[in-house]
Amino acid sequence: MEVLSVLNLGEFAQIFSKMGMFPVFDLAYYIVSILYLKYEPGSVEVSRRSPVASWLCAMLYCFGSYIVADMMLGSSPIDYFQHNSHILLASAVWYLIFYCPLNLFYKCVAFMPVKLVLVALKEVVRARKIAAGVHHAHHAYHHGFFIMVIIGYVKGSGVALISNFEQLLRGVWRPETNEILNMSFPTKASLYGAILFTLQETHWLPVSKSTLLLIFTLLMATTKVVMTARHSHGSPFSLVESWVCFLLFGSPLGGSEDNHHHHAPAVAPASPLKSKEELSEGTRKRKVKKAE
């Protein structure tokens, strides 16, 4: 903690942890989330056929974490919809991204430098949500370590955990996979973050909450910005995960499929070759452009 005090990080972390998220950060969160919805194959057609279904999907993308977390804690899943200003802001973003004349808004926010800033801001909100989720669960269940981790995880992952049902709303059904079977980077990071924040909340991790929040936020934002800039979907945890999985579960490199997907970036992180995921992202974008 010496270094932190020299850098005056503690005080900065305090200020940072008290900073309001609405409207700037939340706006970025909504924009990036609904951008990802538009990347989904078929979502543009759905927005033409049934605006109500498209709006509901957009709300799930923006507020999925609140919906699932509220459901998990036995409260009303639509409890967050009482915040009319948040809903209206997210609805405006949805409208602009899907129906703006000449597709202007989409082109602006999908422009790489703008998108990188928005992605960074989104990760700030995600880190904050995980911390808030763990804190909330700690308040409800004082010794429920598992509940804290689950709520933090759910708050960080958001719609990803219910993507099967979100897709069903759009008439798509892909039962052969889900976010738990094939975790993406944000979902994994949310899980690890939820564990860290739970350890902090129960005083097993000797660090102040604001400092942990600051460090975790910086880590998430940098990693996600680098990954977005490089169109990469590989997990930066893959090497450590492989070791831990081998040690704990005896399977080399975290399972056959995970291995195939996540090994590549770990072995050749500077390789200019496009992986399967990167190619598919390119294809996805082209499809979105065509569909307009």
In sequence order, what are the residues at sequence separation of 6 or more whose Cβ sits closer than 8 angstroms to the Cβ of residue 220?
123, 126, 127, 189, 193
Closest by CA position to 265, among listed 242, 243, 220, 232? 232
Is residue 202 within the footprint of a second copy (CB under 8 A)? no
Span interacting with a second copy, options 28-36, 42-50, 207-215, 227-235, rule CB under 8 A: 42-50
Distances in Å between the Cα of 210 and the Cα atoms of 201, 204, 216 are 11, 15, 10
| Interaction of residue 143 with a second copy, rule CB under 8 A | yes
Return the sign of the alpha-carbon dihedral for residues 19, 23, 24, 25: positive
| Interface map 95-114 toward a second copy (x if CB under 8 A) | ---xx-x-------------
Q: Does 170 bind a second copy (CB under 8 A)?
A: yes
User: Which CB sits closer to a second copy, 168 or 229?
Assistant: 168
Q: Report the residue number, 120 or 154, with the smaller CB distance to a second copy.
A: 154
For position 190 contacting a second copy by CB under 8 A, the verdict is no
Q: Is residue 50 close enough to count as binding a second copy by CB under 8 A?
A: yes
Rounded least distance, CB 53 to a second copy, Å: 4
Residue 251, interface with a second copy (CB under 8 A)?
A: yes
Q: Which own/partner pairs from 265-274 qualify as long-range (CB within 8 Å, at least 24 positions apart)?
A: 265/232, 265/234, 265/235, 265/236, 265/238, 266/234, 266/238, 266/239, 266/242, 274/231
Which segment (74-82, 108-116, 208-216, 226-234) binds a second copy by CB under 8 A?
74-82
For residue 178, state whether it binds a second copy (rule: CB under 8 A).
yes
The two three-digit tokens of residue 20, written as one number: 């309001």
Distance of alpha carbon 271 from alpha carbon 279, whole angstroms: 14
Q: Which is nearer to a second copy, 120 or 133 (CB)?
A: 133
Q: What is the DSSP string of 92-103?
A: HHHHHHHH-GGG
Name which position in 255, 278, 284, 291 contacts a second copy (CB under 8 A): 255
Q: Which is nearer to a second copy, 160 or 183 (CB)?
A: 183
DSSP state of 82: G
Number of residues that bind a second copy (CB under 8 A): 59
Is residue 144 within the footprint of a second copy (CB under 8 A)?
yes
DSSP state of 275: P
Residues in the chain: 292
Q: Is 52 in the site for a second copy (CB under 8 A)?
A: yes
Contact positions vs a second copy (CB under 8 A): 46-53, 56, 70-79, 81-82, 84, 87, 98-99, 101, 140-141, 143-147, 150, 164, 168-173, 175-178, 180-183, 191, 245, 248-251, 255-258
